[in-house]
């Protein structure tokens, strides 16, 4: 297969509890969708795969439909190329400012939000947390952790009219490393 590496982020799945989806079954769904070199990471909806350019455009909807048909739940699937992932790493304003990396996260969006909607976000919603919207990503600095923040998927989805899924900075860097290997 001639293709390039990509990362898929699935929102709201895990290995136990609500929306359980075993990694082996998830990987098999990507293979069935025409992907190769499929690898899952930490069993919480991170998949690195290789696919031809025309196939990549269909992967998210194919896998989401398969999950709905087989497990009965709707799971958003957001895809980024290896190159886009490198841009995410290089574009984090909080890393550039010397922020502690253990407090950093990225929300991956399924589309680019309108400028007017971005301008309507409340920068004081969850002090001392900070965020920066850049294209299809929201960079987050959450010094008190994700659990204590009011900067949630639900907040950004409602305000921006997009679907988001958040990963910590360590996971983002690991997925980039996996794309390179």
Mean pLDDT check: name the lowest of 13-17, 53-57, 131-135, 157-161.
13-17
Same structural domain, 152 and 67:
no
Count how many domains the chain has.
2
Same domain, yes or no, for 63 and 116?
Answer: no
DSSP, residue by residue, 34-97: T-EEEEE-TTSSEEEEEE-HHHHHHHHHHHHHHHHHHHS----EEEEEHHHHHHHHHT-HHHHT
Q: For the segment 5-40, what is each residue's pLDDT rounded down to a tens digit? A: 999 999 988 655 677 788 899 999 999 999 999 999
- pLDDT at residue number 16: 58
How much is the pTM?
A: 0.94
Average pLDDT over residues 111-115: 97
d(CA 96, CA 124): 22
Tell whether 21 and 68 lie within a shared domain.
yes
Indicate which CATH number applies to the domain containing 105: 3.30.70
Tell me if 80 is assigned to some domain. Answer: no
Range of the domain at 50: 4-75
pLDDT tens per residue across span 40-80: 998 778 999 999 988 998 999 999 999 999 989 899 999 99
3-class state of residue 178 by DSSP:
helix
Residue 1 has pLDDT above 60, yes or no: no
Give the orientation angle of helix 53-71 with respect to helix 23-32, to 10 degrees: 130
Beta bridge partners of 130: 141
Q: How far apart are CA 19 and CA 13, in angstroms?
A: 5
């Amino acid at each position: 297969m001639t293709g390039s590496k990509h990362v898929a982020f699935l929102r709201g799945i895990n290995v136990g509890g609500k929306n359980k989806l075993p990694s082996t079954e998830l990987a098999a769904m990507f293979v069935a969708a025409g992907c190769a070199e499929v690898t899952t990471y930490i069993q919480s909806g991170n998949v690195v795969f290789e696919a031809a350019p025309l196939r990549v455009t269909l992967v998210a909807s194919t896998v989401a439909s398969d999950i709905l048909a087989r497990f009965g739940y709707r799971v958003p699937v957001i895809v980024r190329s290896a190159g886009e992932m490198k841009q995410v790493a290089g574009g984090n304003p909080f890393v550039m400012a010397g922020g502690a990396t253990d407090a950093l996260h990225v929300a991956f969006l399924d589309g680019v939000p309108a400028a007017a909607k971005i301008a309507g976000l409340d920068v004081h919603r969850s002090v001392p947390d900070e965020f920066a919207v850049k294209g299809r990503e929201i960079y987050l600095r959450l010094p008190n952790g994700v659990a204590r923040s009011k900067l949630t998927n639900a907040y950004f989805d409602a305000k921006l009219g997009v679907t988001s899924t958040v990963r910590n900075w360590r996971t983002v860097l690991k997925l980039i490393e996996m794309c390179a290997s």
